[in-house]
Amino acid sequence: MPTILVIISGSGTNLQAIIDQCQNGTIRGDILAVISNVPDAKGLDRARRANIEALTLDHRDYSSREEYDQALANLIDSFQPDLVVLAGFMRILTPGFVNRYLGRLINIHPSLLPKYQGLHTDQRALEAGDSEHGATVHFVTPELDGGPPIIQGAVPVLPDDSEETLANRVQREIEHHIYPIAVDWCLNQRVQLTDKGVTLDGELLPSSGFQYNAKPN
């Protein structure tokens, strides 16, 4: 069975979606461990409840970003995972770390990339008057939130949306569905990062990735 290692900083709602779908067999893979740079991250409790090894590697114990990333890479390599999944990991990774796992390191970002790289994506979508907003799973490259998309999905922006309501709907209707899909595709080698872009079952995907159609709740 192919294996996953998940890295978090916070509450771990996407982690929970991945745990649930590993447990029910939708994701054909096993989570080896969850690592957080924040000692009291709620996501660590989610891992423990699922009997997954939960580890803390506090970035405040290291004098530089490079030193921390080297320690993180050493810890990851001790598990030898097939796929490294960033699920709300709130640190910018060094190019050396990213290149070490290139093609088997993925992230989810709450926007329809290439729109709104970086932070405060929901607020920026509202301020721009966008008619839709969403999330994208992408391969991680040295460019922040600039790696090639694997899959993305959108929800309509409603007239009375606040930053919170929009963010919650994107999480519930898009993120928690597309991240497990992408994890399974990667684990089972349906998705590949190539020189020409991302392929799914050998076919080159568009630059925005596979388009997921959310089912209304």
Query: Would you call the peptide bond into 114 cis, given omega within 30 degrees of 0 as the criterion?
Result: yes
CATH of the structural domain 3-212, one choice from 3.30.930.10, 3.40.50.880, 3.40.50.20, 3.40.50.170: 3.40.50.170
CA distance 105 to 58: 20
Instruction: Using pLDDT thresholds of 50, 70 and 90, give the confidence band for residue 217.
Output: very low
* Amino acid residing at 215: K
Q: What is the pLDDT of residue 196?
A: 94
pLDDT, tens digit, for every residue of 149-197?
A: 999 999 999 999 999 999 999 999 999 999 999 999 999 999 999 999 9
Instruction: Using pLDDT thresholds of 50, 70 and 90, give the confidence band for residue 215.
Output: low
* Amino acid residing at 133: H
Burial class of residue 58 in the structure, from the number of CB atoms within 10 Å of its CB (0-12 exposed, 13-18 middle, 19+ buried)? exposed
Q: What is the pLDDT of residue 214?
A: 66
Mean pLDDT of 105-131: 97
**Contact by Cβ (8 Å): 33, 52:** yes
> Is the pLDDT confidence value at 40 over 90?
yes
Q: How far is residue 14 from each of residues 65, 176, 207, measured CA to CA in Å?
A: 25, 6, 24
Q: What is the pLDDT of residue 49?
A: 98
Instruction: Using pLDDT thresholds of 50, 70 and 90, give the confidence band for residue 46.
Output: very high
Retrieve residue 151's tokens.
Answer: 């899959």
Provide the b/e sequence for 13-22 (b: ≥16 CB within 10 Å). bbbbbbbebb
CA distance 133 to 121: 9
Domain boundaries, given as residue ranges, for the chain = 3-212
Burial class of residue 194 in the structure, from the number of CB atoms within 10 Å of its CB (0-12 exposed, 13-18 middle, 19+ buried)? exposed
- Catalytic residue set: 109
**Contact by Cβ (8 Å): 26, 184:** yes
Instruction: Using pLDDT thresholds of 50, 70 and 90, give the confidence band for residue 35.
Output: very high
